[in-house]
Structure formats: structure tokens, C-alpha cells
């Protein structure tokens, strides 16, 4: 079966070589497949620095190159997110020898998407590749082909290193920069991500906010994962009546919120109707507790996201939308980031304290009358 990366072979042979090698190891050794895909990401960033005439960071690491490219606004959001996925899973493969076939599938697909964007933005051939669709490699055990590609890679890397050493680092003209940006934006509009890739982005956002989260491992439907005292867990696929909530946010054993995860390119339900259904149908089970009752809702905090950072111009396709259902006058609103567990605890306590202050300020005779 032809490689998904064949379109790179003439102009960017080292990227074709790495992508093809990763495909040949895909079934036989997913960990090494992920290792090669990390190398793919590294080489793309090196080529981007060459294309834009940029100086490498003083500490020239994959991470720092990505940061520089992001600061220079040279990576569309979706591409930056895919680079993140490659780096994260590649690091686990390189440093911890970890990686599953499913992870290799998602990262290989992500590398293919980056390859299409890179080609459409920087190729001189102007071949239209946006219609190409990723195909999962078939199982093969061709040791000779793998050995040949590995030997070819050594020669290609020498050639690339010579190019990097001779490249200009005084930038490019504004006209050239604008032309590249236009092509980049056009290519980025065609990008889609799988649900699993989107979940990786959501996992990372929740993890950075202080939640213990892993869509695959901390999953009630798959592994009967339960909340634990002293832990703040975002448990995937939590039962809510006959439905499965994408994430349930537990502080200890108390359920504080639900998250609906949409596909990357899909509109977010800014009215959060799906999470409202979860909050109405959920039941306490297996030692879990529900924090209260607000009308028909048993869970106070609801979220909906597709993993993309919030942008006002595409607000129904980006950001984290949030609703506090404890007051009927509250409206959904976009957030710049996730609430931490401590943040949700404070938000809940804040309204309780306000209610207590109002109660304390009420004349006792009026309060007694209401009680009576």
C-alpha cells in the first residue's frame, strides 16, 4: 500500500522517509512508531525555521522551537495542538518506552494532517493535497524495507544538517510572509481532528488546571473507575441515566460538574443542553454524592468544549462554555481556561456565603414569618 506521505517525497524527502518508516513500524512496534513520529515533528519545526529565516533558540529543543513558532504566530491553532500531541506521545515513547496501537494511530493521523498543512503552505509544486484522506497502514513485516529507509535517513539527515548550517537567519520579506500566511490559513481551514485527538487536548487542559484525568485509563464505562476521597478526578464516560457523560468532575466523592466534549471542528452547544440532560438524569451511586438540587438539576456546574482556545470571531466553535445552573438567571458564558478544583469549591462556597449573609441581614421578625 502506498505511504500516506508519498506527496512529500520529491520536495521534502526526509519527512517522507520518517513518515513511511513510522507506518512500517505501526503494527509491529507502536512505541518505535511514536518515536519516529516525534522525529517527524522535530524535522518539520527545523524546516519551518529555515523557511522563515529564524534563528534557533539558545536552547534548541523541540519544545522551544514550538514556543518560538507559536510566539511568531506561524502555527495555526489546530496545527499547534497536533504538534503538542506528537511531542507529548513521542516523549512518552522515547523516555518511558510507552505507547499503544491506538496512540500510534492518532499520532500518525495527526502527523499526516501536519504534513498536508506544511506541504500546502510551503511547497513550490502547488499540488492540491487537501483531498487526501489518511489510511491506516496494513500490517506488514518487511525488514528489508525498514532497513533501507533507516539507511536512507542517515544520508538525508546529513543533507538537512548541511542546509540548516547554511541557511539565512535574517527573516523574510513582508510580501513573502503575507503570501505564506494566506496559504497557511487556507490550508488550516480544511483541518479536522478525530474525537480521540480532541479528547487529548481536553485532557491536557483539565490536567493543567489540577484535575487527575486520562480519558482512556480513568473511564467508568471501560474500567469502572470511581472517585476517591482526597482526589480531584475528571472521570470519562460517567453514567447519567441511560446516557454517558463525556467527563464527570469529582472533588473527592462529590460530583461537581459535567463536561460535554465535541469534535474539534464541531460547533459547541453554547446553551449546554446536553450537559443539562446529564445533570437532570444523574443518580448517586457507588458511594458518590450529589451536591444538591436546583430545580431539575442535581449537578451545579456544566461545561461544553471542542478543545479549541476561545476566539471571539468563532465563539460557537471555540473555547470552554460554562453554566452555573444554581440560578435560573445565569447565562452560559465562555471561559479562557478550566476552573481548578479549588476554583469550583470557592465558587460554590461563595454563593452559599452570600445566601447566609442575606439571611443574616433579614429582620428576624420577617425571617420568622417566612419560616412560619
Are 55 and 169 in contact, with CB atoms under 8 Å apart?
A: yes
Give CA–CA dist 145/159, Å, rounded.
Answer: 21
Host H or E run for residue 101? helix 101-122
- DSSP code for 124: S
Q: Are 110 and 219 part of one and the same domain?
A: no
Sign of CA dihedral 124, 155, 9, 74: negative
Give the CATH number, domain containing residue 329.
3.90.1570
Residue 175 lies in a domain: yes
Q: Are 113 and 183 part of one and the same domain?
A: yes
Residue 370 lies in a domain: no
Sign of CA dihedral 272, 275, 281, 287: negative
Position 316 scores a pLDDT of 59
Residue 372 lies in a domain: no
The SS3 of residue 157 is helix
Given 156, 176, 191, which residue is the final one in a domain?
191
Q: Are 161 and 234 part of one and the same domain?
A: no
Name the phi and psi angles at 305, rounded to 5: -155, 155
Of 45, 25, 44, 46, which Cα lies nearest the Cα of 36?
25
Q: Are 28 and 85 part of one and the same domain?
A: yes
Q: Are 168 and 205 part of one and the same domain?
A: no
Q: Are 33 and 64 part of one and the same domain?
A: yes
**Domains in the chain, number:** 2
233 beta partners? 212, 250
Position 351 scores a pLDDT of 66
Position 370 scores a pLDDT of 34
Are 291 and 299 in contact, with CB atoms under 8 Å apart?
A: yes
With a CB cutoff of 8 Å and minimum separation 6, the contacts of 188 are: 76, 77, 78, 79, 117
Given 151, 170, 191, which residue is the final one in a domain?
191
Give CA–CA dist 232/205, Å, rounded.
Answer: 14
pTM of the model: 0.78
Q: Are 97 and 178 part of one and the same domain?
A: yes
Position 196 scores a pLDDT of 83
Of 75, 106, 107, which Cα lies nearest the Cα of 90?
107
Residue 146 lies in a domain: yes
Residues across the chain:
372
Q: Are 28 and 177 part of one and the same domain?
A: yes
Position 354 scores a pLDDT of 53
Residue 323 lies in a domain: yes
Task: Return per-residue pLDDT of the chain as tens, 372 residues.
Answer: 789 999 999 999 999 999 999 999 999 999 999 999 999 999 999 999 999 999 999 999 999 999 999 999 999 988 999 999 999 999 999 999 999 999 999 999 999 999 999 999 999 987 788 889 999 999 988 899 999 999 999 999 999 999 999 988 888 999 999 999 999 999 988 887 888 888 888 998 999 999 999 998 999 999 999 999 999 999 999 999 999 999 999 999 999 999 999 877 666 667 799 999 999 999 999 999 999 999 999 999 999 998 776 566 555 556 789 999 999 999 999 888 899 999 999 999 986 555 444 434 434 333 333 333
Q: Which domain holds residue 256?
A: 196-365
Position 119 scores a pLDDT of 96
Q: For residue 103, what is its C-alpha cell? A: 496512540
Position 197 scores a pLDDT of 84
Q: Are 203 and 183 part of one and the same domain?
A: no
Q: Are 25 and 165 part of one and the same domain?
A: yes
Amino acid at each position: 500500500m502506498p505511504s500516506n506521505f508519498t506527496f512529500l517525497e520529491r520536495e521534502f524527502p526526509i519527512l517522507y522517509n520518517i513518515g513511511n518508516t513510522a507506518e512500517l513500524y505501526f503494527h509491529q512496534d507502536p512505541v518505535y512508531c511514536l518515536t519516529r513520529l516525534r522525529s517527524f515533528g522535530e524535522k518539520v519545526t527545523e524546516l519551518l525555521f529555515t523557511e522563515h529565516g529564524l534563528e534557533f533558540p539558545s536552547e534548541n529543543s523541540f519544545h522551544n522551537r514550538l514556543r518560538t513558532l507559536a510566539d511568531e504566530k506561524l502555527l495555526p491553532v489546530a496545527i499547534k495542538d497536533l504538534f503538542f500531541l506528537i511531542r507529548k506521545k513521542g516523549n512518552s515513547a522515547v523516555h518511558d518506552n510507552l505507547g499503544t496501537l491506538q496512540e500510534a494511530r492518532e499520532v500518525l493521523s495527526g502527523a499526516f494532517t501536519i504534513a498536508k498543512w506544511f506541504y500546502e503552505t510551503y511547497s513550490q509544486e502547488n499540488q492540491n493535497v487537501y483531498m487526501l484522506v489518511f489510511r491506516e497502514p496494513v500490517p506488514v513485516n518487511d525488514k528489508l524495507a525498514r532497513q533501507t529507509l533507516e539507511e536512507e535517513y542517515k544520508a538525508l539527515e546529513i543533507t538537512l544538517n548541511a542546509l540548516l548550517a547554511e541557511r539565512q537567519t535574517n527573516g523574510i520579506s513582508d510580501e513573502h510572509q503575507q503570501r505564506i500566511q494566506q496559504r497557511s490559513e487556507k490550508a488550516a481551514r480544511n483541518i479536522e481532528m478525530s474525537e480521540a485527538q480532541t479528547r487529548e487536548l481536553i485532557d491536557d487542559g483539565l490536567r493543567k488546571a489540577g484535575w487527575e484525568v486520562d480519558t482512556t485509563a480513568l473511564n467508568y464505562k471501560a474500567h469502572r473507575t470511581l472517585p476517591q476521597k482526597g482526589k480531584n478526578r475528571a472521570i470519562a464516560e460517567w453514567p447519567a441515566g441511560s446516557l454517558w457523560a463525556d467527563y464527570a468532575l469529582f472533588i473527592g466523592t462529590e460530583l461537581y460538574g459535567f463536561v460535554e466534549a465535541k469534535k474539534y471542528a464541531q460547533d459547541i452547544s453554547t446553551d449546554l443542553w446536553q450537559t443539562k440532560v446529564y445533570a437532570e438524569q444523574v443518580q448517586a451511586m457507588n458511594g458518590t454524592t450529589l451536591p444538591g438540587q436546583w430545580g431539575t438539576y442535581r449537578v451545579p456546574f456544566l461545561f461544553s468544549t471542542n478543545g479549541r482556545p476561545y476566539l471571539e470571531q468563532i465563539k460557537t466553535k471555540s473555547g470552554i462554555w460554562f453554566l452555573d445552573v444554581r440560578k435560573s438567571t445565569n447565562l452560559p458564558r465562555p471561559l479562557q481556561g478550566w476552573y481548578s478544583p479549588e476554583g469550583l469549591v470557592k465558587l460554590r462556597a461563595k454563593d452559599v456565603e452570600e445566601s447566609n449573609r442575606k439571611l443574616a441581614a433579614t429582620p428576624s421578625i420577617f425571617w420568622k414569618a417566612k419560616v412560619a
